[in-house]
Amino acid sequence: MTMKSPLSITKLLSEEFIEKNAIASNIKYGRAIYSRNAIKPIEVLNTRVEAWVGGLDGVVVEGGGTKRRVEFKALKTGLKWNCTGNPKNHQIFCKHCVALAFWLLKKRVKK
């Protein structure tokens, strides 16, 4: 019997996932980054997504801030994320992760 494991990032992502893993302020800032179109994909695969996120002018609440590289990976244990703006051993689901998540969710809807 072949084990088919259709791991995919978009299957693991949802609005609920974002709300569960990110704090309210980061959801707000991430949404602002997303709505200003500051996501530049580097590589988009089913199980791995890498993108530049942010780098906008203005105040944080408007999505302003430094550009960071964000990576999402679909693992058997769930979605794993990494943002270069986070300390190495403290990977919060930050505003950059939120922005990329919204971007991926929107992409899925469009398909």
Site for Zn ion contains 96 (CB under 5 A): yes
Cα–Cα distance for residue pair 111/106, rounded to 1 Å? 9
Cα–Cα distance for residue pair 80/71, rounded to 1 Å? 8
CB of 4 to Zn ion, least distance (A): 33
Q: Which is nearer to Zn ion, 64 or 85 (CB)?
A: 85
Q: Find the binder of Zn ion among 18, 49, 56, 94 (CB under 5 A).
A: 94
Find the binding residues for Zn ion in span 16-45 (CB under 5 A): none
Region near Zn ion per CB under 5 A, out of 7-15, 34-42, 55-63, 77-85? 77-85
Cα 26 vs. chain centroid, distance in angstroms?
A: 11
Instruction: Tell me if residue 31 falls in helix, strand or coil.
Output: helix
Q: Residue 81's beta-bridge partner residues?
A: 72
Site for Zn ion contains 68 (CB under 5 A): yes
Q: Which two tokens stand for residue 75?
A: 């693992």
Q: Using CB under 5 A as the criterion, which residues of the chain lie in contact with Zn ion when the complex forms?
A: 68, 83, 85, 94, 96
